[in-house]
């Protein structure tokens, strides 16, 4: 059976991805922040599914994820780094360093944490994959072309640029 870990599975795209892989027979793991989301998902996905409660902006999540996975599997085939947050400010005049740091933490540092938590298990897979969900707002060329000018997009979504770079690093590393 193939094993997959999807972060941010409580709602949105993450929950849809759980549904797709679950329906296709994968053994699905997800990371959620809240215990109540873990319980809610377990009622919906009743077998070959394991929610892990952890906050991906906390370094402790590395051990929590690793311990939960190694309890039941010896290889991981796919890691999807989907968890993310939007920023509020649209303009540099309004954005705060607190908001920038929060988006940097979940969009960039968190994928280092999940990769460290799963690397040994990924190496045991015949075809390991790390998929990093980013945003077109992290595209330097689209930003530079002025495509997004005057539109009310989160300023701090630019942190997705580094997530794109880190994605390449992940691919090369494996």
Site membership for ligand NAP, residue 65 (CB under 6 A) = no
| Those residues with Cβ within 8 angstroms of residue 65's Cβ, 6 or more apart along the chain or in another chain | 5, 31, 52, 54, 113, 114, 117, 118
Query: Nearest distance from residue 174's CB to ligand NAP, in Å?
Result: 21
C-alpha–C-alpha distance, residues 20 and 11, integer Å: 13
Q: Which residue has the tokens 């942190």?
A: 159
Distance between CA atoms of residues 56 and 108, nearest Å: 11
Please report how close the Cβ of residue 125 comes to ligand NAP at its closest, in angstroms. Answer: 23
Interface residue with ligand NAP among 2, 13, 129, 131 (CB under 6 A) is: 13
C-beta closer to ligand NAP: residue 75 or 85 = 85
Regarding 19 and contact with ligand NAP (CB under 6 A), the answer is no
C-alpha atoms less than 13 angstroms from C-alpha of 123 in its C-beta half-sphere: 7
Residue bearing tokens 């309004």: 94
Residue 162 exposed, middle or buried by CB count within 10 Å (0-12, 13-18, 19+): middle
Is position 12 an interface residue for ligand NAP (rule: CB under 6 A)? yes
C-beta of 83 vs 125, nearer to ligand NAP: 83
Binding residues for ligand NAP, total number by CB under 6 A: 20
Touching ligand NAP, residues 72-111 (CB under 6 A): 82-85, 106
Residue 34 binding ligand NAP, by CB under 6 A: yes
> Dihedral of the CA atoms 70, 25, 42, 122 (nearest 10)?
20
Residue 31 engages ligand NAP in binding (rule: CB under 6 A)? yes
DSSP 8-state code for residue 28:
E
Q: Does 51 bind ligand NAP (CB under 6 A)?
A: no
Residue 154 C-beta: closest distance to ligand NAP, Å: 9
* Comparison of 31 and 108: residue with beta carbon closer to ligand NAP: 31
Q: What's the rounded Cα separation, in Å, for the pair 123 and 143?
A: 36
Tokens of 86: 């939007």
Q: Which residues sit at the interface with ligand NAP, rule CB under 6 A?
A: 7-8, 10-14, 31, 33-34, 55-57, 82-85, 106, 133, 135
């Amino acid at each position: 059976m193939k094993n997959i870990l999807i972060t941010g599975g409580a709602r949105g795209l993450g929950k849809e991805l759980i549904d797709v892989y679950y329906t296709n027979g994968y053994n699905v793991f997800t990371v959620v922040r809240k215990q109540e989301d873990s319980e809610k998902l377990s009622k919906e996905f009743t077998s070959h599914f394991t929610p892990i409660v952890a906050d991906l902006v906390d370094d402790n999540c590395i051990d929590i994820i690793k311990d939960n996975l190694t309890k039941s599997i010896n290889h991981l085939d796919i890691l999807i780094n989907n968890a993310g947050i939007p920023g509020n400010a649209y303009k540099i005049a309004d954005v705060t360093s607190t908001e920038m740091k929060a988006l940097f933490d979940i969009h960039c540092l968190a994928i280092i944490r999940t990769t460290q938590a799963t690397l040994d298990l990924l190496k045991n897979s015949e075809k390991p994959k790390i998929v990093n969900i980013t945003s077109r707002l992290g595209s330097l060329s689209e930003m530079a072309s002025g495509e997004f000018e005057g539109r009310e997009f989160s300023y701090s979504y630019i942190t997705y640029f580094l997530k794109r770079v880190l994605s390449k690093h992940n691919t090369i590393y494996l």
